[in-house]
Amino acid sequence: MSWEDRIRKVEPYVAGEQPKEKDIIKLNTNECPYPPAPGVEAAIRDLAGDSSALRLYPDMDATPLVEALAAQYHVKPDQLFVGVGSDDVLALCFLTFFAGCTEEEPLLFPDITYSFYDVWASLYRIPFRRIPLKDDFSIDPADYIPAKSGQACGGIIFPNPNAPTGVELGQEAVEQIVAANPDCIVIVDEAYVDFGAKTALPLLEKYDNLLVVQTFSKSRAMAGARVGFAIGNEKLIGYLKDVKFSFNSYTMNLPSIRIGTASAKDAAWFAETTGRIAATRERFKAELRALGFEFPDSRANFVFARHPAFSGADLQAALRARRIIVRHFNKPRISDYLRITIGTDDQMDRVVDALREILA
């Protein structure tokens, strides 16, 4: 056996294009089109004059950030876990909560969903099963209820709203799934919840097997800072911290802690910005309908759309030729769809003008 035969090989996650050219309208990675909260800029200025921010190890518990989030979401600090973006948080969740999954009781998640889930499951050798979405791209709760589906499971994870579809699963349906699986952890990945969907956080008062994960990358305009967090009961968070501190105690750097804290404290900016993006989304949806596009009702900061007269790949290429980048997934069931991030009003007007030109 050679050294190469001994290496674990996985198929990695493929991120959206990060273009190097200037004057590109970049609508392929669901970033916020507006600057972060004003307090973030002030925190960055303060960091510039503080050499200890880089010289010293950061607070391994990220205490200021945890306390700010606890105040915002009305939970105890011991119910919060923070990590380097929600990807870091979710990867540690897979390692912590789904290691006991088996072929008979696999991890369950939708067949059309965040494509990092199967990567983590494969990396950590977690047996999993993809559950097909309905034809309208919605999740059927019955598929995750053992008494109805006949499928036992060792864990469940799904985004809400889902990605890349943007479809929201109602809170009652989320509760049905959580309540029907008391012996396994259910993770609701709420990366896009802040744009008009309902959070599962109120359910934490009733269920100790629920974990809710959110991120600063989308609604708080801080994708570059890498800040994510999970909220659950104290016991779940304790187990998650045990794994983190067995892996790397200092995952979040001090600058991210400070600017994340400043962002978490600015509720007014947060509400104004997410509302602004949601309003632009609704206007853009109306424009797409007028052009003959079809799409599920998005509650996220993107629209997942197709046109019956064009392939998704052709539309993506035509937009790229006009210096507009959107996301295309060459996968079963969704190859004719484009995921279009909601940018500024001006950016979305330019997308509509480009689409009119392409469709003419």
For residues 200 and 217, membership in a common domain is answered with yes
For residues 251 and 239, membership in a common domain is answered with yes
Query: Any idea which residue has 């943007």 for tokens?
Result: 166
Tokens of 244: 């983190």
Rounded CA separation 304/282 (Å): 13
Q: What is the dihedral of CA 188, 312, 31, 231, to 10 degrees?
A: 0
Please check whether residue 166 lies inside any domain of the structure.
yes
Quote the domain boundaries for residue 185.
Answer: 38-265
φ and ψ of 72, to 5 deg: -70, -40
Region 254-273: what's the mean pLDDT?
A: 96
Please check whether residue 2 lies inside any domain of the structure.
no
Please check whether residue 3 lies inside any domain of the structure.
no
Per-residue pLDDT reduced to its tens digit, 112-130: 999 999 999 999 999 999 9
For residues 84 and 163, membership in a common domain is answered with yes
For residues 204 and 317, membership in a common domain is answered with no
For residues 253 and 273, membership in a common domain is answered with no
CATH of the domain at 291: 3.90.1150.10
Domain-terminating residue out of 249, 265, 281: 265
Whether residue 249 is predicted with pLDDT greater than 90 in this model: the reply is: no
Region 76-81: what's the mean pLDDT?
A: 98
Whether residue 40 is predicted with pLDDT greater than 90 in this model: the reply is: yes
For residues 212 and 168, membership in a common domain is answered with yes
For residues 216 and 320, membership in a common domain is answered with no
Give how many domains the chain has, as a whole number.
2
Whether residue 247 is predicted with pLDDT greater than 90 in this model: the reply is: no
φ and ψ of 214, to 5 deg: -135, 175
Please check whether residue 10 lies inside any domain of the structure.
no
Domain-terminating residue out of 242, 265, 288: 265
For the entire predicted model, the pTM comes to: 0.96
- pLDDT level of residue 327 (50, 70, 90 thresholds): very high
Of 201, 203, 202, 160, nearest to 178 (Cα)?
A: 203
Question: Residues 284, 323: contact at Cβ < 8 Å?
Answer: no
For residues 221 and 149, membership in a common domain is answered with yes
Please check whether residue 159 lies inside any domain of the structure.
yes
Please check whether residue 8 lies inside any domain of the structure.
no
Count Cβ atoms below 10 Å from residue 64 Cβ, excluding itself.
17
For residues 282 and 241, membership in a common domain is answered with no
Please check whether residue 12 lies inside any domain of the structure.
no
Rounded CA separation 236/97 (Å): 9
